[in-house]
Amino acid sequence: MNIQDQISLVEKEVKQFYDKNADYCGLSNLSQDETSHIIRIGTSILCTKWKIGYAGGSFVQNFVDNNLSGAIGAADSTTIKGFKFFGQIMYNIGMPSSLYNLNNN
């Protein structure tokens, strides 16, 4: 499985979690652009955590590193809305087994 396929698989997991949990995470009133941005950043967070592709930007790296002040300082107006969602995906989505064998040899 190539890197883009791996990233697509992670994105699918993030989108499914978003669809089920947007209300709980306070994201039900976002625009389509904001929703897409939250899903992209969520995908980058999990890919960075699982070392798939390249590491995310400063917000993502700070979030994955559990650096709250750094993440807040690097957040844009949309990612600041997604903090609860990002925390939920970090601790509630496990790496799919098809990726685990590729990235943990």
| Rounded CA separation 52/10 (Å) | 9
| Rounded CA separation 102/52 (Å) | 9
**What's the predicted TM-score (pTM) here?**
0.92
Q: What is the average pLDDT across 5-23?
A: 96
DSSP state of 96: P
Residue 58 tokens read as 């400063």
- What's residue 98's pLDDT? 83
Higher-pLDDT residue of 97, 35 = 35
Q: What is the average pLDDT across 79-101?
A: 91
Instruction: Return the minimum-mean-pLDDT range out of 46-50, 74-78, 86-90, 93-97.
Output: 93-97
- What's residue 29's pLDDT? 94
- What's residue 105's pLDDT? 46
